[in-house]
Amino acid sequence: MKKILFSMLVVIVCVSLLLGCDNILPDHSDSPSTNETSGLGGERKYKVEILNADSFDIINELKESYAAGEKVTIQLATITEHYYLLYVNGVEQERDDLIAGDWTITAYSFIMPNEDVIIKIEDRWVDIPYPDNETGLN
Per residue in 50-92, pLDDT (tens digit) is 998 888 889 999 999 999 999 999 999 888 788 899 999 999 9
- Quick one: pLDDT band at residue 121, thresholds 50, 70, 90? very high
Report the distance separating Cα 117 and Cα 57, nearest Å.
Answer: 20
DSSP state of 14: H
* pLDDT, average across residues 4-32: 53
**95 residue type, one letter:** R
Phi-psi region of 59 (alpha: psi -120 to 50; beta: other; left: phi over 0): alpha
Predicted confidence (pLDDT) at residue 116 exceeds the cutoff of 90: yes
Predicted confidence (pLDDT) at residue 133 exceeds the cutoff of 80: no
Task: Using alpha carbons, select from 61, 39, 37 the residue that is nearest to residue 47.
Answer: 37
* CA 26 to chain CA centroid, nearest Å: 23
Contact 114, 46 (CB under 8 A): yes
pLDDT score, position 20 = 57
* pLDDT, average across residues 105-129: 91
pLDDT score, position 26 = 45
